[in-house]
Amino acid sequence: WSQLATDIVISKYFRKAGIRGDKNVGERSVRDVVHRIAHTIRVAGDRFGGYFASKAEADAFEAELSFLLVNQYGAFNSPVWFNCGLFHEYGITGSGGNWAWDSSQPKASNVIETKNAYERPQCSACFIQSVQDDLMAMYDLIKSEARLFKYGSGTGSNFSNIRGKQEKLSGGGTSSGLMSFLEVFDRAAGATKSGGTTRRAAKMVCLDMDHPEIQDFINWKVREERKAQALIAQGYPSDFNGEAYHTVSGQNSNNSIRVTDEFMRAVEAGGKWQTIMRTTGEVCETLDAKSLWRQLAEAAWGCADPGVQYDSTINRWHTCPNSGKINASNPCSEYMFLDDTACNLSSVNLTKFLVDTTTEDGKSTLSFDVEGYRHACRVFFVAQEILVDLSSYPTKNIAKNSHDYRPLGLGYANLGSMLMQMGVAYDSDEGRAIAAALTAIMCGHAYKASAEMAASKGTFVGFAKNREPMLRVMNLHREAAYAINRDACPGDLYKAACEDWDLAVKLGEQHGYRNAQATVLAPTGTIGLLMDCDTTGVEPDFALVKFKKL
């Protein structure tokens, strides 16, 4: 491991003190941390049943997961490193208050409040929470956000249900409006560091394009940026933790606008766009669609916010539309699913699967180990599936939905580095085809594993209600795999992508799926450093020399 990767483990993930038997112990090596996680997951897999056919298989699973972690082939999201195994290995408890599935009564919809923090650890990094137009419900949301931040996770919500400042209150008077509450949420997030002292709170705020306060929301952060710049010009420090940025609002969340096909057609046609009152359904304002789009673009240019989420496209690829609409995402937008759900992530390191081979004429070439990649994806995916019911969650609804839908987020990192080592330009047809094939193999193989687990463990609870739309989306994925540019893609990668999706669809039709969602492409910030990745997630290298400041 590099010094940086080792420093990450020591500063962020080591448990400095604990108890094993009658001895006080602390973690002193990467081996200690990896054992804590891999052994805890293996024991949980035994406890829940149906994951391992024998003790020998369970032993092999633990050994292989340990190998992949310690050799930087992959990594779980930070909450797993922060929280998993602290109770099981060291007897650390912490305070209770989270909610978890009661596996002792598997036939009942039984969610229980946890007695301590770590017996049922919070292992998911990504949460999406619903928002109601009710004062007490909004403050309950602040409380559950704080609990998520405390254990190293992030959360996103769509705030479009909250009435605008143009609307009346039921008891008389006019609402203070959406933006006033967003400032309260912003300050609450700013007061909380995720996972102790080494992570900022991670928060996403989404808003539909037809909300009465959409223009104020679009321009919120760019206005605040101008205030901060004015303070910096007067001599205040320009650091994002400095007084200038601390003084202004909106600095503790990513913001995104939910854009529909209907709105985009209005932009193209130069048409009008109407905002809608949340309480009455009446038209609030009629705006010029193209002007609104221009405001959004200029705000994003000015301060990188808000982002855009294409609502209609997202919901066309939704595996569970009969259970509800996708309204929002997690802070980094890789996870999009139903409200009040959670997703645990892991990422595999693509460069670890490059194999240097020498041809008969003595030339050295790099090829990709497809079978090794598939196997690593499978091991991590099974581990993540086990974590679903071992884990706890901040609310009853999220605990129940996590059990009922079991969404997972297997992903990869280091794509840019891998392409550079292969001598392939990132911005090229070949680069895009390789990325598409590797993503298709990962996703198809994960759903194949999900269907195989469904044959043994049963489908996720919500599958029966969503069988037809989920199989439709699976076929969309298979069609996309076959549509990869064959002229630009290495033949073995194209063949593997198509094979995995053929099997994923075939087995899903036979057995259903254990998980409503299987893969995401996360930024892999901290865990990218942990794996000594030169590039994170799907991004290219943005500089040859980089500085990381915690």
Give the contacts of 222 (CB within 8 A, at least 6 positions apart).
Answer: 298, 299, 302, 303, 305
Distance CA 442, CA 462 (A): 23
The sign of the dihedral angle between the CA atoms of 205, 207, 212, 213 is: positive
Tokens representing 322? 């009969």
For residue 503, the surrounding DSSP H or E stretch is: helix 491-511
Active site residue 27: no
Distance CA 161, CA 180 (A): 14
Active site residue 401: no
Residue in 89, 213, 334, 430 annotated catalytic: 334
Distance CA 386, CA 380 (A): 10
Distance CA 513, CA 459 (A): 5
Burial of 12 (0-12, 13-18, 19+ CB in 10 A): buried
For residue 346, the surrounding DSSP H or E stretch is: strand 341-349
Contact 337, 517 (CB under 8 A): yes
Residue in 123, 284, 303, 332 annotated catalytic: 332
Tokens representing 130? 């619903």
Alpha-carbon 285 to chain mean position: 35
Task: Determine what percent of the chain falls in helix, strand and coil, rounding each to the nearest 5.
Answer: 50, 15, 35
Distance CA 112, CA 396 (A): 8
Distance CA 7, CA 100 (A): 33
Residue in 330, 344, 349, 466 annotated catalytic: 330
Distance CA 301, CA 255 (A): 14
Distance CA 159, CA 138 (A): 10
Active site residue 498: no
Determine the residue type at 351: T
Closest CA to 157 of 131, 188, 179: 131
Place of tokens 């499978």: 378
Residues noted as catalytic: 330, 332, 334
